[in-house]
Structure 1
Amino acid sequence: MIEVLNGGLIVSCQALDSEPLHGSEYMATMAVAAQVGGAVGIRANGYSDIKRIKERVDLPIIGIHKKHYQGFDAFITPTKADAQLVAEAGADIIAIDATSQSRPEDLQDLIHFIKNNLNKILMADISTLEEGIKAESMGCDLISTTLAGYTKETQNTEDGPAFRLLNSLVKTLTVPVIAEGKIETPEDARKALEIGASFVVVGGAISRPQEITRRFVKGLNKYETSHRN
């Protein structure tokens, strides 16, 4: 399955409760559009979305379950129960928060459960080189830059995609490294592959039309401001 994804684009089809396209049917339709456009895989959140997308597209699915537990920072598939839901929904790969953030369950126990009880390929979402090294040593199959810039430790460390981290991970690890996070253009995606990413995950730049619209509006506002001055 990793060979199928190699060199390709995975589209993250997610919408929060507050977003206009929230809902499993909307996300499944978005996944269909991504497949038509040439995506080799989908990343999706939650049992309902994953299950419906699995019914609509014939692509590998990276599944997560975002859930906040009071008193803890890790929220991407942070417990065995969350991972179980993702597996039951039909995900082919399960992604988890493998950062050093506080978590409701022991990371090694979670990894062992996914690998040995659920028999799923495991992606570790990390934010630093040290976290990537640790995740590989614990048995994770894929390491992704997903959370670079989003943890307390890494806020404001890189402007845009975490290319420096990606480069360090590729040079250090033996498992495939995935580029995800703040990738907004085809040029960003191509650069990630040139650095050595096995494949690229893109979310908001493709599947969040309100964010795409905001970027265009921001660009127009800058133009108007410059011409007024």
Structure 2
Amino acid sequence: MVVDSRLLRGALQGRLIVSVQAPQGSPMRDPSVIAAMAEASLVNGALGVRLESPEHIGAVRQRCPGALIVGLWKRVYPDSSVYITPGWEEMRAVWAAGADIVAIDATARHRPAGEELACLIERAQRDLKVPLMADVDSLENGLRAAALGCQWVGTTLLGYTEATAELRPPAWELLPVFREQLSPETALICEGGIASADQAVMALEKGADAVVVGTAITGVDLQVAAYVGRMGAGR
């Protein structure tokens, strides 16, 4: 497997990746809008962008040919709560659209159609030769994903799975333990709950190699709704 040097841990040190996404039904979800926000992030110093859906990945790849793209595809299946690039079909589509690294749910939850995480990772490495980012919710799941071959481990799903529903990101307590127990080659990404530049710096201090920020930068829908709601409650 030939891995883009930008994906290696050393190249990630202290860098920002911006998650450029918009919820279903939002006017911001237009591919041209996503691509514009991605370009604005990149020209202002972000190392890369994290994008959802083959359509948006393709739009950004066309507008920003040299962009570092972390790609995923959120799809909901009735037999599983896993939704971030849950299976082979999604993984292949994300890779074909132009992602440099594919983010997958690497928790221990039951996957659609009972597909096993280990089999999915092995197939991706064999047939696509694709670098993977493991979105996890716990130390155990992160270490397992790294052992199975994922190059990046991200704290993306802490607080968003049934087993961690009582927790709230950022994953401050997990980061130093992860850094101590992951191999030196595996990149540790702090994603989830980072709401300020000071918090991003704190994540780096606690052991993260890079930080993913989404809502605080590009989440227009959620940010505006939060302001309006808080101001309305104060009246």
Deviation at 1:218, TM superposition (A): 5.1
User: What's the CA shift string for 1:133-176, capped at 9, x where partnerless?
Assistant: 11111111111000000001001223x41111122211211111
Is the CA contact (8 Å cut-off) linking 1:5 and 1:41 kept in structure 2?
Answer: no
What secondary structure does 2:173 align onto? helix
User: 1:113 and 2:123 equivalent?
Assistant: yes
Where does 1:89-128 land on structure 2 (aligned, <5 Å)? 89-104=97-112, 105-128=115-138
- CA deviation vs aligned residue, 1:2-55 (integer Å, no higher than 9, x gap): 243332110011112222311211110110111122111010011110011011
* Amino acid across the alignment from 1:33: A
CA distance in 2, matches of 1:134, 1:10: 24
2:173 is equivalent to residue 161 of structure 1 = no
Matched with 2:3 is: none
Quote the Cα distance in structure 2 between the aligned partners of 1:118 and 1:8.
27
1:28 maps to: 35
In structure 2, the partner of 1:171 is 180
1:13 to 20, 35, 43: 20
**Matched residue SS, 1:21:** helix
Give 3-state SS (helix, strand or coil) of 2:26's partner. Answer: coil
Contact kept, 8 Å, 1:28 with 1:49, in 2: the verdict is yes
TM-score by length of 1: 0.92
Ranges in structure 1 where 5+ consecutive residues have no aligned partner: none
1:84-121 CA distances to partner (integer Å, 9 max, x unpaired)?
A: 00110010000100001110221011111222211111
What is aligned with 1:204?
A: 215
2 CA distance for matches of 1:138 and 1:69?
A: 24
Question: What is the alpha-carbon distance in structure 2 between the residues aligned to residue 151 and residue 15 of structure 1?
Answer: 21
1:43-71 CA-to-partner distances (Å, cap 9, x unmatched) read: 00111100110111222100001111211
Mean Cα displacement is larger for which, 28-37 or 140-149? 28-37
Aligned-partner SS, 2:133 = strand
Query: For residues 128-147 of structure 1, what are the structure 2 equivalents within 5 Å?
Result: 128-147=138-157
- How big is each residue's C-alpha offset from its partner over 1:161-201, in whole Å with a ceiling of 9 and x where there is no partner? 11111222112111111000011111111101111111000
Letter in 1 for 2:130: K
Question: Which 10-residue stretch deviates more, 1-10 or 36-45?
Answer: 1-10
Contact 1:4/1:40 (CA < 8 Å) preserved in 2?
A: no
Specify which structure has the bigger relative contact order, considering alpha-carbon pairs within 8 angstroms and separated by 6 or more residues.
2
Structure 1 Cα separation of the partners of residues 232 and 176 of structure 2: 35
Q: Distance in 1 between matches of 2:177 and 2:29?
A: 36
How many residue pairs get aligned? The number is: 223
Range moving further from structure 2, 175-184 or 17-26: 17-26
Structure 2 counterpart of 1:194, from 202, 205, 210: 205
How many Å separate the matches in 1 of 2:130 and 2:14? Answer: 21
Q: Say which is worse superposed, 212-221 or 85-94, in terms of deviation.
A: 212-221
The corresponding residue for 1:88 is 96
Q: 1:213, CA displacement in angstroms? A: 2.2
State the 1:220 CA deviation: 4.3
Counterpart residue type for residue 168 of structure 1: V
Alignment of 1:28-67 (within 5 A): 28-57=35-64, 58-67=66-75
Gaps (5+ residues) in structure 2?
Answer: 1-5
